Amino acid sequence: MKTIRSLVAMRRWRESAEGRVVLVPTMGALHHGHAALIRRARRLAGSRGKVVVTIFVNPRQFGPLEDFASYPRPLARDLTLCAENGANVVFHPSAEAMYCGEASVWVDEGVLSQTLCGKSRAGHFRGVCTVVAKLFLLAQPSDAVFGEKDWQQLAILRRMVQDLNFSVRVLGHPTVREADGLATSSRNAYLTAGERRDAARIFQELQAAASRPGRPDQVTRVASTGIAKIPGARIDYVEAVDVATLEPLKNRTTSGRLAAAVYLGRSRLIDNVPLPVVS
Ligand code: AMP
């Protein structure tokens, strides 16, 4: 496995790479959720293709009060995980290499990013779209794999690819969970032992509510009521949305997603589950 740090070296590698190139963008602090994405990329790339994992804690997607400085950066462990799961290249640029000075050009999705997490994380998706567009231009992948855990991000990136005519196939990978159902996340490490125990209830309440046949607003109310009972939990949102447009779901005749963001201790946890059609 090769580690690349400079943009020039990344471009040079890409020019000589043959076969499919499958990209897995990450911020590092890799866990078995990321490992599943890398293995999926490996299967897609086949024996002749190449898997590129990017590790970049992107300063432009963090708000001023968010955890950019304290975000974990265990690079040696991350490189081992990438190698063990079949990556050919890890692209790990510095912020200085990725961004030269103040940006005046951004990739800004204007509709889907206004809802859900976009309301409390101003500028977050603009930072995500900009960095992913740059990674697409540098690595020129045929496919890119993203986690369904970040459903809104996935929907926005699909939209970006469509609107900007990137010839990249965006693939969503199902959320990888801990044994009790909590979505695996680098930020789970911020939870105390008690919070960690309670955190699993977010998924359990979403699942229980989504398995009911009621109208979207009833399902949302049931989930909110359950999550509000978790000690110390503060709900940012619980919403039933259309899978692609992220608009509020009006009925159960099309598939939706029941999504939540919940503050627990110093963590902000997000999760989502399918909201199936009810006939
Ligand atoms: P991050 O490093 O948090 O930016 O995540 C990098 C990619 O891994 C994103 O596409 C995430 O959606 C995905 N990811 C993170 N956690 C999980 C998980 N538990 N299951 C599936 N995908 C995940």
Task: Tell me which residue has its CA closest to atom 12 in ligand 1.
Answer: 147
Please say if the pLDDT value at position 103 is more than 90.
no
Atom of ligand 1 nearest to the CA of 34: 8
- Burial (Cβ within 10 Å: 0-12, 13-18, ≥19) of residue 229: exposed
Average pLDDT value for the chain: 97
Res 101 pLDDT > 90: no
The residues assigned a catalytic role are 34
Give tens-digit pLDDT for 173-199: 999 999 999 999 998 999 999 999 999
Of 24, 37, 186, 187, which is best to mutate to test ligand 1, by the most ligand atoms within 8 angstroms of its C-beta?
Answer: 37
In the reported structure, the alpha carbon of residue 87 is separated from the centroid of ligand 1 by a whole-number distance in angstroms of: 16
CA distance 210 to 219: 6
Ligand 1 contacts (CB < 6 A) are: 26-27, 33-34, 37, 146-147, 149-150, 173, 175-176, 183-186
Q: 223: closest CA among 247, 201, 252?
A: 201
66 CA from centroid of ligand 1 (Å):
18
Which residues, including other chains, have CB under 8 Å from residue 20's CB and lie 6 or more apart?
44, 45, 46, 48, 49, 50, 142, 143
pTM for the model stands at: 0.97
For ligand 1, pick from 24, 32, 34, 184 the residue to mutate: most ligand atoms within 8 Å of CB: 34
List the 21-26 sheet strands across, edge first: 2-4, 89-91, 50-55, 21-26, 143-147, 169-173
Which residue, by CA, sits nearest to atom 17 of ligand 1?
Answer: 33
Percent of the chain with pLDDT over 90: 96
Residue 48 to residues 21, 40, 45, Cα–Cα distance (Å): 10, 15, 7
- Three-state SS at 239: strand
Taking the CA of residue 150 as reference, the ligand 1 atom at the shortest distance is 12
Pocket test for ligand 1, best of 23, 26, 152 (most atoms within 8 A of CB): 26
The pLDDT tens digits for 201-253 are 999 999 999 999 999 999 999 999 999 999 999 999 999 999 999 999 999 99
Q: How far is the CA of 173 from the centre of ligand 1 (A)?
A: 9
Do the Cβ atoms of 220 and 209 come closer than 8 Å? yes
Each residue's pLDDT tens digit, 107-159: 999 999 999 999 999 999 999 999 999 999 999 999 999 999 999 999 999 99
**Residue 102: which pLDDT band, with cuts at 50, 70 and 90?**
confident
Per-residue pLDDT of 2-34, as tens digits, reads 999 999 999 999 999 999 999 999 999 999 999
Give the nearest ligand 1 atom to 28 CA: 2
Whole-number Cα distances in Å, 267 to 66, 201, 261:
10, 15, 10
Please report the atom of ligand 1 found closest to the CA of residue 30.
2
The helix-helix angle for 151-164 and 124-139 (nearest 10°) equals 60
How large is the average pLDDT for residues 58-83?
A: 95
d(CA 142, CA 21): 6
Taking the centre of ligand 1 as the mean of its atom positions, its distance from the CA of residue 175, in whole angstroms, is 8
pLDDT at 268: 95
pLDDT-derived band at 68, boundaries 50, 70, 90: very high
